[in-house]
Structure 1
Amino acid sequence: MTQLARLPTELFHELFQYLWANEILHSFSNLSDQMNSILESYSSYRINFQSTRYSIFQRICEQIQPEQVISLILSDKNDTPHLTKIFLSYFHIQQFTNLRLLSLIQVEHDSLCKILPELSKLKRLHSLSFDNSSGKGKFVDFTDTNTKIYSLLPKSSSETILQLKYLCTTYSDALTSMNFPNLLQLRLNCHSLHPLNAILQQAPQLKSLTLFLDVFRDLYAFQPCYSLRKLILIVKHAHMSIDLIGQFLEKFSNVTHFELKNIFGFAHRSLIDGFQWERIAQSFSIFNFKFHMKDTLTERNLDSFRTRFWIEEKHWFVVCQHNYLFTVSLSDFGLPYIGLTCMKSLYSTIPNNAILYHPKYLIFHRRPSNTQFCFTTIQNLQPIWLGSVQLLSSIIDLNQIQYLTIIPPVFSLFKNISSHMPKLHTLRFEGNQVDIDVPEQSSLSGLQLKQIHTLQFHIAKDSKKSIYDLQMISYSFPLVEHISTWPVKSRSDIIYIIGLFKQLSSISFVIHQSIDKIKRYSEFDSQLILNDIEKYLHCSAMCRIDFISENDRTPDLLHFWLCERVR
Structure 2
Amino acid sequence: MIFDYLSTVDIYRGFIKINSYIDSVVSNYKNYQLNFRSILKKEFDLICRYMNPHGIVSLILSDNIDTPGQSNLFLSLFKFEEFHYNLRSLSLINLNQDSILLINNYFDMFTNLSSLTILNIISEVPSKLFYIYPKLNRLNISHDWLFSNKLSLMQLEYLIISNRCKSNEFETIINRCPKLISLNICLERDIRININGLTSNLSRLILNMSLYQINIIELKEILNCFPYLIYFEIECRSDLDLCDGYQWEIFISNKLFYLKKFFFKFQLISTIILNINGIEQILKSYSSYFWLKEKQWFIAIEWGQRLIYSVPKFSCQSADRNFRPPIHTTINNENIFYDNINALALWGETNYKFRYVKELWLVDDPLMINIFDVIDLNKIETLIFVSSNNNLSIDTIFNLISNMKNVNSIQFFDIPLSLIEYKKRTFIIRQIHSIELNKELKSLSFIEILNKIFPEIQRLNMKIKSIEDIRKILNSFSEYLSNVCFYCNTSNILLTREYFEKIIGHTNFTYHIDLNSITLWIGIEYSSNSTESLQRKSIGCFSWCHRRKSLLK
- The bucket for the TM-score relative to the shorter chain is 0.7 to 0.9
Distance in 2 between residues matched to 1:480 and 1:213, nearest whole Å: 42
CA-CA distance at 1:393 after TM superposition? 2.2
Residue in structure 2 matched with residue 483 of structure 1 by the alignment:
460
* 1:305 correspondence with 2:286: yes
Candidates 168, 182, 195, aligned match of 2:155: 182
Choose from 263, 271, 274 the match for 1:288: 263
1:106 aligns with 2:82: no
The answer on 1:452 being equivalent to 2:432 is: yes
CA contact (8 A) 1:414 1:444 kept: no
- CA separation of 1:303 and 1:430: change in aligned 2, threshold 3 A: farther
Please name the residue that 2:361 is paired with: 382
Distance (Å, rounded) in 2 between the aligned partners of 1:259 and 1:221 = 18
Equivalent residue in structure 2 for 1:426, among 401, 409, 415: 409
Structure 1 residue 441 corresponds to structure 2 residue 416: no
Question: For structure 1, which segment, 476-485 or 390-399, has the greater mean C-alpha deviation from structure 2 after superposition?
Answer: 390-399
Distance of aligned partners of 1:357 and 1:272 in 2 relative to their CA distance in 1, 3 Å threshold: farther
Which of 164, 169, 189 is matched with 2:141 structurally? 169
Return the offset for 1:469: 2.4
Instruction: Tell me the amino acid that sits aligned with residue 534 of structure 1.
Output: E
The answer for the alignment partner of 1:140 in structure 2 is none
TM-score by length of 2: 0.82
Query: How far apart, CA to CA, are the structure 2 residues paired with 1:85 and 1:426?
Result: 29
Write the letter of the residue equivalent to 1:441. Answer: L
Describe the SS at the equivalent of 2:486.
strand
Contact 2:433 2:457 in 1 (8 A): yes
Supply the distance in 2 between the matched residues of 1:273 and 1:376 (Cα, whole angstroms): 33
Q: Note the C-alpha offset of 1:563.
A: 2.1
Residue 118 (structure 2) aligned to one of 130, 144, 148:
130
8 Å CA contact retained: 2:312, 2:337: no
The answer to whether the 8 Å contact 2:195/2:222 transfers is no
Give 2:505's match in structure 1, choosing from 530, 534, 538.
538
Residue 9 of structure 1 corresponds to which residue in structure 2?
none
Corresponding position of 2:518: 558
Preserved contact between residue 300 and residue 326 of structure 2 (Cα < 8 Å): no
The answer on 1:256 being equivalent to 2:241 is no
Q: Where do 1:309-320 residues align within 5 Å?
A: 309-320=290-301
Give the conservation status (yes or no) of the 8 Å contact 1:128–1:168.
yes
2-side partners of 1:297 and 1:536: how far apart?
66
- The range that moved more, 352-361 or 113-122, is 352-361
What's the offset of the Cα at 1:538?
0.5
- 1:475 and 1:453 mapped to 2: Cα distance? 13
Q: 2:379 aligns with which of 381, 394, 400?
A: 400
What amino acid does structure 2 have at the position aligned with 1:286? K
- 1:525 match: 494
Residue type of the partner of 1:40? S
Q: Check 1:464–1:248 CA distance in 2 against 1; reply closer, same or farther (3 A cut).
A: same
Aligned to 1:85: 72
Deviations 1:324-350 (A, max 9, x none): 5432354xx532423331216455322
Aligned to 1:274: 245
Alignment correspondent of 1:349: 330
Q: Is the 8 A contact 1:207 1:228 kept in 2?
A: yes
Contact 1:538 1:566 in 2 (8 A): no
- Are the counterparts in 2 of residues 188 and 211 from structure 1 also a CA contact under 8 Å? yes
Q: 1:464 to 1:270 in 2, by over 3 A?
A: farther
Gaps of 5+ in 1: 1-13, 134-145, 513-519, 547-554
Cα distance in structure 2, aligned partners of 1:40 and 1:454: 32
Give the distance between the partners of 1:223 and 1:94, measured in 2 at CA. 44
Distance 1:220 1:487, change over 3 A: farther
Which residue of the partner structure matches residue 48 of structure 2?
A: 61
Residue 485 of structure 1, CA deviation: 3.5
Write the distance in 1 (CA, Å) between the matches of 2:190 and 2:404: 42
Q: Secondary structure at the match of 2:64?
A: coil
How far apart in 1 are the matches of 2:445 and 2:505? 27
- The one-character-per-residue Cα deviations of 1:17-67 (angstroms, maximum 9, x if unpaired) are 122222210111111222112112212211111122222222222211211
Q: Give 1:470 deviation, angstroms.
A: 2.1
Count how many residue pairs are aligned between Structure 1 and Structure 2.
Answer: 504
Moved more, 233-242 or 249-258: 233-242
**1:443, 1:465 → 2: CA distance?**
13
Q: CA deviation at 1:234?
A: 2.8
CA 1:294–1:174: 2 relative to 1, 3 Å: closer
Partner of 1:408: helix, strand, or coil?
A: coil
Does the 8 A contact of 1:415 with 1:443 survive in 2? no
AA aligned opposite 2:131: E
Q: Aligned partners of 1:30, 1:384: CA distance in 2, in Å?
A: 49
Which amino acid in 1 is paired with 2:512? Answer: R
Aligned equivalents of 2:324, 2:159: Cα separation in 1: 38
Deviation of 1:180 (Å): 1.2
Deviations 1:248-281 (A, max 9, x none): 323323212111236xxx7655554433433444
Give matches, 1:4-15, under 5 Å: 14-15=1-2
Q: Percent of counterpart pairs with the same letter?
A: 24
CA contact (8 A) 2:463 2:486 kept: yes
Which residue type is aligned with residue 470 of structure 2?
Answer: I
1:10 — aligned with what? none
Q: Any conservation in 2 of the 1:407–1:430 contact (CA below 8 Å)?
A: yes
What per-residue deviation string (whole Å, max 9, x for no partner) do you get for residues 544-563 of structure 1? 122xxxxxxxx321111112
Partners of 1:474 and 1:424 lie apart in 2 by 17
Given that 1:363 and 1:384 are in contact with CA atoms closer than 8 Å, whether structure 2 keeps it comes out as no
Q: Is the 8 Å Cα contact of residues 415 and 447 (structure 1) preserved in structure 2? A: yes
- Residues of 2 paired with 1:307 and 1:468: CA distance? 64
Q: Distance in 2 between matches of 1:219 and 1:308?
A: 33
Distance change in 2, residues 1:407/1:294 (3 Å): farther
CA contact (8 A) 1:238 1:268 kept: no
Distance 1:387 1:484, change over 3 A: closer
Q: 1:404 to 1:464 in 2, by over 3 A?
A: closer
For the residue of structure 1 that corresponds to 2:87, the secondary structure is coil
Distance in 1 between the 2:4 and 2:325 partners? Answer: 48
Please state whether the residue corresponding to 1:504 is helix, strand or coil: coil
Task: Compute the displacement of 1:242 (Å).
Answer: 4.2
**In 2, Cα distance between the equivalents of 1:391 and 1:349?**
31
* Equivalent in the alignment of 2:447: 470
Residues 162, 352 of structure 1: CA spacing in aligned structure 2 closer, same or farther, 3 A cutoff?
A: closer
Question: Is 1:494 the equivalent of 2:462?
Answer: no
Question: In 2, are the aligned partners of 1:297 and 1:320 still within 8 Å (CA)?
Answer: no
**Paired amino acid for 2:110:** L
1:518-543 per-position Cα deviation (integer Å, ceiling 9, x unaligned): xx455x3241xx32221133033211
The Cα of 1:222 is off from its aligned counterpart by: 6.0
> Secondary structure of 1:427's match?
strand
Deviation at 1:312, TM superposition (A): 1.8
Gaps of at least 5 residues in structure 2 are 528-553
Q: Any idea what the Cα deviations from partners look like across 1:495-520, whole Å, max 9, x if unmatched?
A: 211222211111111115xxxxxxx4
Query: Structure 1-normalised TM-score?
Result: 0.80
8 A contact 1:290–1:334 mirrored in 2 = no
Structure 2: how far apart are the matches of 1:268 and 1:178? 38
- 1:207 is the counterpart of 2:174: no
The answer to whether the 8 Å contact 2:80/2:106 transfers is yes
Q: C-alpha displacement at 1:477, in angstroms?
A: 1.7
Per the TM alignment, residue 367 of structure 1 is displaced from its structure 2 partner at its CA by 3.6
Q: Do the aligned partners of 1:126 and 1:163 also contact (CA within 8 Å) in 2?
A: yes
Q: Assess if the C-alpha contact under 8 Å between 1:165 and 1:182 holds in 2.
A: yes
Rounded to whole Å, the distance in 2 between the matches of 1:209 and 1:58 is 37
| TM superposition shift of 1:448 | 2.4
Q: Is the 8 A contact 1:506 1:560 kept in 2?
A: yes
